[in-house]
Structure 1
């Protein structure tokens, strides 16, 4: 039987150009938090990712599903050691626990939507990244020492967010 409607939950309209959107700079990428776990009762989050040429996270894995839809450009995904180039219009799903990473090796900027289910990745990114003014804000300039400190900052809470770096 389907439960009754919960009127305390409202309709969410995600617009990356909305002035209330939170943007996070992380590993050279800019992530717009479109729909948060707080808005979905923890069911999922949706992140608009702008990935410059050469951008992308290090190899990692986590115990939640992650789905990417490429909106602009192309992204090279490495899944269990095998590379796959995914172009605009395509969607790729990363199963929970599978080792993976992505990199923009196209020579041009790329953009994709990332949905994680259940939510939590949105909170993790907010915790370890830098909130920036908008999607076009440059990433903060970090010294080598600051880069190392950021890596430690990212690794320390990863387990609490059901993730590990490889």
Structure 2
């Protein structure tokens, strides 16, 4: 179907802008963090602060403690696996094709409750918090799995979360 449009004015900036972002499959900055693998596809720097976007692979039993972001909303789209979500006071399970939106200042966490890796996409708006994974994660080693972290690694992570205006909250 086509519409009879007038001939476009090629000097219109909507035709000439080239400042969008294209990230190919396999591109992005990957980091291991607390046993999970995060691949940051775009950061706030790439999107003029609008959003940060990433892919996560979380092994069975993995996922963060309950927390709330003070500056960002967060959205999740599950590609594969099963995640138990805590959202405010609700606890529910999501799987492939499910979407979860977490407004800023809302207690949340996810936990892989399946028997295989869970893979999902997530984004922050505005962007910025995705850089936390780049700063505090470990460089992946090809052919190896992300190792779980011991208590000694979590001390620096908590300090980093506080710097990012993320509050760790009780589970119950």
What's 1:56 paired with?
63
Does residue 45 of structure 1 match 2:45?
no
Q: TM-score, structure 1 length as denominator? A: 0.84
What's 1:107 paired with?
115
Structure 1 unaligned residues grouped into runs of 5+: none
Q: Which has the larger radius of gyration?
A: 2
Distance 1:16 1:155, change over 3 A: farther
Structure 2 unaligned residues grouped into runs of 5+: 1-12
Q: Supply the distance in 1 between the matched residues of 2:129 and 2:18 (Cα, whole angstroms).
A: 21
Alignment of 1:1-166 (within 5 A): 10-18=19-27, 21-63=28-70, 64-133=72-141, 137-140=144-147, 147-166=150-169
What CA deviation, in whole Å up to 9, does each residue of 1:86-127 have, x standing for no partner? 111111101110111000001121100001011122111112
1:141, distance to aligned residue in structure 2 (A): 6.2
Q: Supply the distance in 2 between the matched residues of 1:55 and 1:113 (Cα, whole angstroms).
A: 16
Q: Supply the distance in 1 between the matched residues of 2:66 and 2:24 (Cα, whole angstroms).
A: 30
Kept in 1: contact 2:43–2:130 (CA 8 A): yes
Q: TM-score, structure 2 length as denominator? A: 0.81
Once superposed, what is the RMSD of the aligned Cα atoms? 2.0
SS in 2 for 1:155: helix
Kept in 2: contact 1:75–1:86 (CA 8 A): yes
Kept in 1: contact 2:77–2:99 (CA 8 A): yes
SS in 1 for 2:157: helix
